[in-house]
A and B are shown apart, each in its own frame.
Chain A
Amino acid sequence: MKFSRYTVFENLTETVESGVNLILGSNGSGKTTLLRIIAGLQKQTSGECRIIRDGESMDNIGYETIFLCSPDMELYSELTVQENMKLLAGLMRCNLTSFADWRLEKLQKKLYGHLSSGYKQRVKLMMAFLKTFPILLLDEPEQHLDKQGISFVTECIEERSDNGLLTIVATNNPWRNWRVAVNL
């Protein structure tokens, strides 16, 4: 993958299967770019990224299949936490989960733009786990979270793994004993 003349990564071949897979790498190594390519938000300079489901290659990934939660993505700052979540639950066609699970019950009526970085991250993670996407891509999910937050998001990721779903986590440091799929 290249940006102008700068090569972010090359000769990358990896197959990931259900469960939790880590993409490890330092700052600027291309973790976010790789996740964006998998999510279909960005085109790679060369090569291909294929998603195979039940033995069949998926050329057109539907909106129900894959979701990315990244620090580069934001919610609507002029809407409250509740308004944002209601909108997203409607678009994802799923029910709204409890705000208390993410310790957000007291902040429901607050504007998203007025939240601290930690709470914004909680809202974004709540959004990522609103619906059970077959493929979930998490870019540095531990960012800005306290110990309780990290432990809760770890539980959520492991629950997905137990249900045979694919989660790809991009991070700076090895996390738990999860499989390192790519080391950039």
Chain B
Amino acid sequence: MLSTFKLLLAKEIKLIFKGKDLLGYAIGIAIVMSIAVSMPSARIKIPETAGSALMWLIILFSCVEALQRTFTDEMSGKTSDLMKLLVSPSLVFLSKVFSSSVFTIVIALFTTPLLVLWLGFPISRLPSMLPIAVVGSLAIGLSQGIVSYLLARGSSKGMIYPLVVMPIVLPILISLVILTTQFLEASSISYTLLVVVIAQSLAILLVGIAFLPLLERAV
């Protein structure tokens, strides 16, 4: 089972990073959004909370495309039947969620320094920001998997995305904003909150896996 998962994960990562248009598109969104939010506020001191909220929103929206694409490509590319014949749907789901999380981490590692620079926060805070960017991206990636799966199967696709994703991602986003603000302010860090973020995303992932066979049968 582990070797099958490794194969699927390698395939997904290869597909994400081979799709140069997707990587370029995501990085492009990240840059454009970073500039868009930083330019008008060039002479205004951005509060730490607003800065960290912007950072996580940019990471979230930069990665929405990748997360949804992993599932919709399998459907539109007519490869989903092949996978269903050979491996358990749970393994396919997990490989897509983890590969998307890796992609999210890459985008976060690219976006975070840009935002710290452009929003005028001290560069000295960057080393402590990067670990939280990695953990937070992983949490966002893991928690969005089931939503992307559901949307890929439905006919509404992206139209109802905000409606479905917000109740699931919002608690994680709020926790990440609080944590990032603490890092930016160099105040005491709530490690309990960090554990809560990880627990929340893992819980969403586990619920997704538990309901997956039911959802597969329903379609």
Chain A contact residues, CB within 8 Å of chain B: 36, 39, 41, 63, 66-68, 70, 72-79, 83, 87-88, 90-92
Contacts and interface: CB of A to CB of B under 8 A. Distances in A.
26 contacts: A39-B85, A41-B81, A63-B85, A63-B86, A63-B87, A63-B88, A66-B85, A68-B85, A72-B81, A73-B79, A73-B81, A74-B77, A74-B78, A74-B79, A75-B82, A76-B11, A78-B15, A78-B18, A79-B11, A79-B14, A79-B18, A83-B14, A90-B3, A90-B4, A90-B7, A91-B4
B19 interface: yes
Contacts, number: 52
A120 to B, nearest CB: 11
B84 interface: yes
Nearest to B6: A90
A72 B14 CA distance: 24
A41 B86 contact: no
Given A78-B19, A79-B15, A87-B11, A92 B78 contact: no
B5 to A, nearest CB: 11
Contact of B86 (A70, A77, A83, A92): A92
B77 A77 contact: yes
Nearest to B74: A76
B79 A75 contact: yes
B77 A76 contact: yes
A91 B18 CA distance: 21
Contacts of A77: 77
Contacts of A73: 78-79, 81-82
B206 to A, nearest CB: 23
Given A72-B81, A73-B79, 5 more contacts: A68-B85, A73-B82, A78-B18, A79-B18, A91-B8
A87 B15 contact: no
A76 B79 contact: yes
Nearest to A72: B78
B85 A76 contact: no
Contacts of B86: 63, 88, 91-92
A73 B86 CA distance: 13
Contacts of B3: 90
Interface string B47-79: 000000000000000000000000000000111
A75 B11 CA distance: 12
Contacts of A79: 11, 14-15, 18
Contacts of B15: 76, 78-79
A90 B14 CA distance: 16
Contacts of A41: 81, 84-85
Contacts of A67: 85
**In the A-B complex, the 3 residue pairs with the closest CB atoms:** A74-B78, A90-B7, A91-B86
A88 B7 CA distance: 9
Contacts of B4: 90-91
A91 B85 CA distance: 10
B153 to A, nearest CB: 15
Q: Which of B19, B81, B87 neighbours the largest number of chain A CB atoms within 10 Å of its CB?
A: B81
Contacts of B81: 36, 41, 68, 70, 72-73
A39 B79 CA distance: 15
